[in-house]
Amino acid sequence: MKPWDRTLVDMPGVATHCPYCALQCGMELRPAPATARPDQVEVAPRAAGGRRAALCQKGWTAAELLSSPERLRTPLVRRGRGAALRPATWDEALGVVATGIARAQEESGPGAVAVLGGGGLTNEKAYALGKFARTVLRTPNIDYNGRFCMSSAAAAGNRAFGLDRGLPFPMADIAEADTVLLVGSNVAETMPPFLRFLTAERPGDGGLIVVDPRRTETAARARLHLQLTPGTDLALALGLLHIAIVEGYVDREYVESRTTGFADVRPIVMTYWPERVERLTGVPVADQHEAVRLLAHAGRAMVLTARGAEQHAKGVDTVSAFVNLALALGLPGTPGSGYGCLTGQGNGQGGREHGQKSDQLPGYRSIEDPAARAHVASVWGVDPDSIPGRGPSATELLDALGRPEGPRALLVFGTNPVVSAPAAGRVEERLASLDLLVVADLVLSETAALADVVLPSAQWAEEDGTMTNLEGRVIRRRRLRPPPAQVRTDLEILAGLARALGHDAAIDTDPERVFDELGRASAGGVADYAGISYDRIDTEDGLFWPCPDADHPGTPRMFLDGFATPDRRARFVPVDHRPAVEDIDAAYPVYLTTGRVRAQYQSGAQTRRVPTLAAAAPRAFVELHPALAERHGIEDGDDVRVVSRRGSAVAPARLTDSIRVDTVFMPFHWPGAGRANTLTNPALDPTSRMPEFKVCAVRLELVA
């Protein structure tokens, strides 16, 4: 029997969006012609959100996973340690989960159960997951993999502007800017359709400036490439602001009328003269001056940060330093100019706004705010005092699993920490120590393979919902067809778990009703969705939050009339450079930095199962400079062992002069011997709790 009924080939197509990155490119899905297999789906790009039709290789091949033989099509249960996962009914699987949760909480309290979510979940699922954790499980232990993505930029945005929206202006504004400073992003590989906004023709004396330790494909297209030492972005930002002050480029009128705190920043910045910054970063003095000149002379300028600046134990301060530079030049809240952060995950923006982050309630409200708790409790129909308080961040949560005072059970939705978390070998150990591990996924990811119960979840083309893209536009994800018979949506899974635990009406399974409830819960919050509905999204091609009521047009451009602070002024934040937590030394003399490649996405759980993408990027590699390779007797293609204080990874060498001679690069999409996150440092930013993914010390060994 075929997975899909043959009558489905006659169904009409639907307008939806790509399931991968935060660009959320427009896509049309259609059942394949009747001459093809009835379970196949055709993909076509479509114009959406004021952007022309465009898809990258991942988008074009996204539908291949719908009919993949590696899809999970039934629940799986492991009976006893060492036993294999075997097929089970939904009643059996949910019964095992409910029994395990009840036992753990009866013996150790509500916090004995934890939840880990993902930045790819729809707004509805992220909201329902947070509600489930706090009203059904009553646990404070919920967080999500966005801690590994945008948490540092979010924290910096909140303290400078009073709120966090990745891009507080439409993407189209970037193409109109005369100069763009891009810090720590290789969009040519991570989100290729976005590259056109950066490489648009810019008349006059402007252009693209890229800050990156590698001469990536994006950096190669820039007018100016600042090829800094990994972990020194903060020193560079301080040095650029020093030059802006000394050369008289500060917009004094803007600073005096629209900001506070510049006097506290200036003394620190003045100690970062260009020659000192060159010694710290490796960026030549002349290039520092040229970067500031290009920004200051531009009629419209943008400063954009991404993971390269943020994934550090000082990521919040690093982003704050670049925000300070933007404020000194008068960019944020000025039409055609500004500061923004490039969100990575598909719903990285919306995923953190509505309650799956440990310190937040829907609407981007603080879980520690009594008024916020009272408002959300009224929507949920619970006592405000019953809502648990703030829990640990994702890295801290994973490290606490199975420990004497830590959670004994973990539910995982939409993430694969065995590949994506720092010090991933330690994460495997913690997961193995649990009494119960439950994973909802569409394939048997590396994390799911360790689980006691695996629950098969629907894919993006099999469910309705909303996403919030990197510019803050709320868009529709539309269902083409139902999931296979024994596969459920995450909303249905959460509702089933709630019923099994005695909470029959806690979670609604209808996405539109959940979104309407989300709107009520977010009303009055920073991220106010109260005026957004499915009908309005359909009619208006998406809506920008905040949108507080049905008559509000949405907010494409923020901060034009003031910032979201009590006095409506942006805040300069004094920050100082500090070295990487783990600098190079005699035992580990080389920097490691990590990132992505075009044909793979995040932990690779989905893209590695698409044959076209797997063929394009089949395995991990170690990118290093020929001079560094020569010192170690390494030739192109040789297997290289990269060793850090946390473990080792082995992958073939890829020699290129586009990387610094003191640095190696590994992509993080693969498990097993080539797993880059075996090596990375779990040291955390004190504010955002972001791990230090982007720099650690390693040594290289030629594998005979």
Across residues 141-149, what is the average pLDDT?
94
Position 200 scores a pLDDT of: 85
Under 8 Å between Cβ of 627 and 661:
yes
- At residue 82 the predicted structure's pLDDT band, cuts being 50, 70 and 90, is confident
Q: Is the pLDDT of residue 1 over 50?
A: no
C-alpha pair distances (Å), 655 with each of 185, 440, 619, 638: 21, 39, 16, 10
pLDDT the model gives residue 6: 35
Handedness of CA 500, 505, 509, 515 (dihedral sign): negative
Distance CA 33, CA 415 (A): 34
Residue among 596, 578, 680, 602 nearest 414 (CA): 602
Point out which residues pair with 17 in neighbouring strands: 26
In this predicted structure, what is the pLDDT of residue 700? 98
Average pLDDT for 403-413: 97
pLDDT reading at 479 higher than 50: yes
Q: What does the pLDDT read at residue 92?
A: 98
Give residue 2's pLDDT.
Answer: 34
Concatenated DSSP letters of 526-537: SS--TT--HHHH
Q: Is the pLDDT assigned to residue 81 strictly greater than 90?
A: no
Residues 18-48 have pLDDT tens digits of 999 999 999 999 988 765 676 789 999 999 9
Say whether pLDDT at 348 is over 50. Answer: yes
Question: Is the Cβ–Cβ distance between 126 and 351 less than 8 Å?
Answer: yes
Q: How far is C-alpha 396 from the chain's CA centre?
A: 18
Query: What gap in Å lies between CA 122 and CA 353, rounded to an integer?
Result: 11
* Residues 161-186: b if buried by 16+ CB within 10 A, e if exposed: bbbbbbbbbbbebbbbbbbbbbbbbb
Q: What is the DSSP letter of 690?
A: -
**Contacts for 98 with CB less than 8 Å, ≥ 6 apart:** 497, 500, 501
Gap between the Cα atoms of 387 and 55, Å rounded: 42
Report the Cα–Cα distance between both ends of the chain, in Å, rounded. Answer: 50
- Kindly report whether the peptide bond that precedes residue 12 is cis, defined as omega within 30 degrees of 0: no
User: What is the reported pTM?
Assistant: 0.95
**Beta bridge partner(s), residue 226:** 211
Residue among 239, 312, 326 nearest 282 (CA): 239
Q: What is the pLDDT of residues 264-291, one digit of tens each?
A: 999 999 999 999 999 999 999 999 999 9
| Average per-residue pLDDT for the chain | 95
Q: In 3D, which of 626, 623, 601, 599 has the Cα closest to residue 611?
A: 599
Q: What residue type is 675 in one-letter code?
A: R
- The DSSP code sequence of 211-252 is E-SB--HHHHTSSEEE-PPTT-HHHHHHHHHHHHHHTT---H
What are residue 556's phi and psi, to 5 degrees? -60, -40
What is the pLDDT, as a whole number, of residue 206? 85
> Sign of torsion, CA 238 240 241 243?
positive
What pLDDT score was predicted for residue 202?
79
Per-residue pLDDT, 303: 98
* pLDDT score at 9: 43
**For residue 7, what pLDDT band results from cuts at 50, 70 and 90?**
very low
Q: Residue 548: is its pLDDT beyond 80?
A: yes
Q: Which residues pair with 320 in a beta bridge?
A: none
Torsion sign over Cα 447, 448, 451, 455:
positive
- pLDDT tens, position by position, 150-202: 899 999 999 999 999 999 999 999 999 999 999 999 999 999 999 999 988 87
- Residue 413's DSSP bridge partners are 440
Arithmetic mean of pLDDT, 225-247: 98
Q: Using alpha carbons only, how large is the chain's radius of gyration in Å?
A: 24
CA distances from 357 to 350, 520, 696 (A): 11, 19, 27
Q: Is the backbone of residue 63 left (phi > 0), alpha (psi -120 to 50) or beta?
A: alpha
Q: Which amino acid is at 97?
A: V
pLDDT at 36: 62
Taking a C-beta distance cutoff of 8 angstroms, is the pair 87, 76 a contact?
yes
Report H helices in 282-423.
285-297, 307-310, 315-328, 348-351, 370-380, 394-400, 417-420
Query: Domains, the chain, ranges and CATH?
Result: 6-67 (2.20.25), 76-148+348-544 (3.40.50.740), 160-341 (3.40.228.10), 590-702 (2.40.40.20)
Q: Is the pLDDT of residue 5 over 60?
A: no
Say if residues 629 and 662 touch (Cβ distance below 8 Å): no
Question: Which value, to the nearest 10 degrees, does the dihedral of the CA atoms of residues 221, 224, 227, 233 take?
Answer: -110
Query: Strand, coil or helix: what is 668?
Result: coil
Residue 508: its pLDDT value, please?
Answer: 97
Kindly list the distances between the CA atom of residue 301 and the CA atoms of 331, 334, 675, in Å, as whole numbers in the listed order: 7, 10, 38
Q: Is the pLDDT of residue 406 over 60?
A: yes
Residue count (the chain)? 704
Name the residue among 403, 447, 435, 386 with its Cα closest to residue 145.
447
What is the C-alpha separation between 526 and 517, in angstroms, rounded? Answer: 16
In Å, what is the CA distance from 296 to each residue of 106, 178, 243, 244, 256? 62, 10, 11, 8, 18
